Chain A
Amino acid sequence: MAKKLANHFRLGIFVLAGLFFLVLLLYMIGKNENIFGSTFVLKARFENINGLMPGNNVRFAGINTGTVKDIAVLNDSTIEVTMLIKEKMKPFIKKNAIATIGSDGLMGNKLVNLTASKISAEEVNENDILLSGKAVDTDELIKVMGGATDDLALIVTGLKTTINKINNSAAFWDVMNDASLPVNLRSSLMNVKQSTAGMNNMVNDLQAMVRHVQSGKGSIGSLLVDTTFAHNLNEAVERVKRAGNMADSISIQVTTLVRNIDRNLNHGEGIATALLRDTAIVHRMENSLQNIQKGTEAFHQNMEALKTNFLFRGYFRRQDQQKKKQAPED
């Protein structure tokens, strides 16, 4: 009897364990398909759903938030997808969220991606129809990838040619095999480093200079910043301008004067014209000047004679003595 009870006990555990796992399995699948727990319905309309099926996941910001409940064809270009979304996600999904058809990985199941818009909006309500985006077309993607592959093939071919050229280039390998190259390179890099440091210093100096100028110090600073200086400069420029104008006016007057003189000289009368044009007067003037010179020489002889005369000798001596006294004082 005891053995029979023990067998019944074992059988009971066995059966319950099997049923428990069955229920667990059904519950977990049901939970994933949003059968248990509160949900609400959202809709989106697409031109092409790319093989989406009822039961496929709906993701909001990458989180599984629901499943596709139903797919209905409204007309030849509109397909309505009804989605069951977990109630707890309702506050986060806004009316301006965009629904697109995507896939779980490159070869995975199709799914609906809900993307939040950056513009704030009210939260969704039951049976709201969301905006839909264009689904990623795998065929189009493959076509683009095919184009990219062709480009890649061209690049690889070019690369191959380049590598062949490099491999066959004696000059390149000479350079590569040159043992002194790393040393020179290192040295060059050191020089570059030093130059860079020098340039940094220069840039720093330049910055300091610019700051100096900006603060209005120095001639350039004054020139750029000092308003008084600028005013004076403007005034000076104005004066120069006025002087220029006056010079123009003087130049005109001089020109006029010269023209008058020229006209008088060529056509007029008077001493100057006579001096320039009448040769007889010129001869007479030369004779007169020669006579004056002779007179002056005779006068000079007379004066020398006077110095030796006893009547005027005392006077000239006193003159000499006064000159001698004044010379040491100077």
Chain B
Amino acid sequence: MVLIAKTLLQNWKIFFIEAGALSEFTGRFFTQGFRPRYEFREFVKQCFLIGYQSLALIALTAFIMGLVLTMQLRPSLVAYGVESQLPAMVGIAIVREIGPVLTALIFAGKIGSSIGAELGSMKVTEQIDAMEVSGTNPFKYLVVTRVFAATLMMPILVMLSICISLFGSYLGVNIRGVTSFHLFWTQIFDFLKFSDIIPAFIKSFFFGFAVGIIGCYKGYYSSKGTEGVGRSANSAVVVASVVVFIIDLIAVQITDVLGLN
């Protein structure tokens, strides 16, 4: 019993230490990120790696998600006799929640682990130290560029994911029924409001930032050799995914308070 209590206490202590270190790391990003010299080329490269190269995976999952969600919702709506509302309901679900959160989770899995592993391996092989010695600011070059790229690419990925997911939904609607393409999009846009799309768009910046900063933090402070690299990558994915949900929770509370729900 005492052992369990000690372990819990230790874990809580580690949690707070990690939270403090992450906050300090985030503060360092804001202090150094907006100051010259800007690593623009590295930023564009990271945008390509983080954004463009994630598109295929996110597009596939989004398409499947739209299709599956539509087919799963259909029986319930048929039972209530409101099958015609299927495009509108799926549209709102995808735009408000499924699109941003699903994209963020896939993004955390792919990019969070990638950044954590990449920076972790650079850390354990002392490449980051070498950069410091050679006069390059490794934080600016490695962290700031990746975090900015993740923050800016995430909303674009979310928009494309929503679009592809709605195409998947259109296919799902037409598997069991017949709805014209024009009517499908008209119904969706008829029900959507700015209060649906703007909060989703804004929170996707936070999702991207969270995935980027946590991946960089886990990798940047990686230790204990190759074992530490794997742990950093894994930890980056888990923490980023949890933080995505926490941000989503906060976002829905804020939109509720602002009367946008």
The yes or no answer to B51 lying at the interface (CB within 8 A) is yes
Q: Is B194 an interface residue (CB 8 A)?
A: yes
Nearest-neighbor residue (CB-CB) of A23 within chain B: B159
> Range of interface residues on chain A?
20 to 34
Q: Are B44 and A29 in contact, with the CB atoms below 8 A?
A: no
Residues 89 to 116 of chain A near chain B (Cβ within 8 Å)? 105, 107
A25 adjacent to B192 (CB under 8 Å): yes
Interface residues of B in 121-161 (CB under 8 A from A): 155-157, 159-160
Q: Establish whether residues A107 and B82, one from each chain, have CB atoms under 8 Å apart when the complex forms.
A: yes
The closest CB in chain A to the CB of B157 belongs to: A18
Q: Give A112 Cβ to nearest chain B Cβ, in Å.
A: 16
- Are A26 and B197 in contact, with the CB atoms below 8 A? yes
Is there a chain B Cβ closer than 8 Å to A188's Cβ? no
Docked CA distance A105–B80 (Å): 13
With A18-B156, A19-B156, A25-B159 given, is the CB distance from A11 to B52 under 8 Å? yes
**A14 sits at the interface (CB 8 A):** yes
A30 touching B194 in the complex, CB below 8 Å, given contacts A8-B44, A14-B156, A21-B160: yes
Whole-angstrom distance between the Cβ of B154 and the nearest chain A Cβ: 10
Task: Specify which chain B residues have a CB less than 8 angstroms from the CB of A15 in the assembled complex.
Answer: 47, 51, 156
- Min Cβ gap B122→A in Å is 22
- Within 8 Å of chain A (Cβ to Cβ): is B162? yes
Residues of A255-306 at the interface with B, using a CB-CB cut-off of 8 Å, are none
User: Which residues of chain B have C-beta atoms less than 8 A from A22's C-beta?
Assistant: 155-156, 159, 201
Query: Given A21-B163, A25-B159, A14 and B52 touching (CB < 8 A)?
Result: yes
Interface of B is mostly: helix
Mask of B180-205 contacts with A, CB within 8 angstroms, 1/0: 00000100011011101100010000
CB contacts (< 8 Å) of A29 on chain B: these are 189, 192-194, 196-197
Which B26-72 residues have a C-beta within 8 angstroms of A? 44-45, 47-48, 51-52, 55
Which residues of chain B come closer than 8 Å to A7, judged between CB atoms?
45, 48, 52
CB A54 to nearest CB in B, in angstroms, measures 10
The docked-state distance in angstroms from the alpha carbon of A29 to that of B193 is 6
Contacts of B197 in A (CB 8 A): 25-26, 29
A13 to chain B, nearest CB (A): 8
State in angstroms the CA–CA spacing of A239 and B138 once bound together.
142
Complex CA distance for A14 and B162, rounded to whole angstroms: 14
Which A residues lie within 8 Å of B194 (CB)?
A: 26, 29-30, 33
Chain B residue nearest in CB terms to A4: B45
Residues on A with C-beta less than 8 A from B157 are 18
Assess whether A202 is interfacial by the CB under 8 Å rule. Answer: no
Chain B: which residue is nearest A30 at the CB level? B194
Q: Is A222 an interface residue (CB 8 A)?
A: no
Q: Is the CB of B52 within 8 A of A10?
A: yes
Instruction: Tell me, in angstroms, the Cα distance from A316 to B52 when the chains sit together.
Output: 172
* Chain A minimum-CB-distance residue to B194: A29
Please name all residues of chain A whose beta carbon is closer than 8 Å to the beta carbon of B47 when the two chains form the complex. Answer: 11, 15
Q: How far is the CA of A14 from the CA of B156 in the complex (A)?
A: 8
Question: Is A39 among interface residues, defined by CB-CB distance under 8 A?
Answer: no
Is the beta-carbon distance between A17 and B44 smaller than 8 angstroms?
A: no
Bound-state Cα–Cα, A193 to B82, Å = 49
Report chain B residues within 8 Å CB of A18.
155-157, 159-160
Task: Please give, as numbers and ranges, the residues of chain B lying within 8 Å of A216 by CB-CB distance.
Answer: none
Q: Give the Cβ gap from B188 to chain A, nearest Cβ, in Å.
A: 9
A32 interface contact, C-beta 8 A: yes
Set A14, A26, A105: member contacting B55, Cβ < 8 A: A14
C-alpha gap A176/B189 in the complex (Å): 60
Looking at the assembled complex, report how far the CB atom of B189 sits from the nearest CB atom of chain A, in whole angstroms.
Answer: 4
Known: A26-B197, A29-B193, A32-B189. A21 touches B159 (CB 8 A): yes
Which of A15, A17, A18, A21 counts the most chain B CB atoms within 10 A?
A: A18
A233 adjacent to chain B (CB < 8 Å): no
Q: How far is the CA of A44 from the CA of B147 in the complex (A)?
A: 52
CA distance A39 to B45 in the complex (A): 46
- Chain A residues within 8 Å of B163, by CB: 21
| Extra A-B contacts (17), CB below 8 Å, given A14-B55, A28-B185, A31-B189 | A10-B52, A11-B48, A14-B160, A15-B47, A15-B156, A18-B155, A18-B159, A21-B160, A21-B163, A22-B159, A25-B192, A26-B197, A28-B192, A29-B193, A32-B189, A32-B192, A64-B190
User: Can you give 26 contacting A-B residue pairs, CB < 8 Å?
Assistant: A10-B48, A11-B52, A14-B52, A14-B55, A14-B156, A15-B51, A17-B156, A18-B155, A18-B160, A21-B159, A21-B160, A21-B162, A21-B163, A22-B156, A22-B201, A25-B192, A28-B189, A29-B189, A29-B192, A29-B194, A31-B189, A32-B189, A32-B190, A33-B193, A33-B194, A55-B193
What are the 6 closest A-B residue pairs judged by CB atoms, nearest first?
Answer: A18-B156, A28-B189, A18-B159, A11-B48, A21-B163, A14-B52
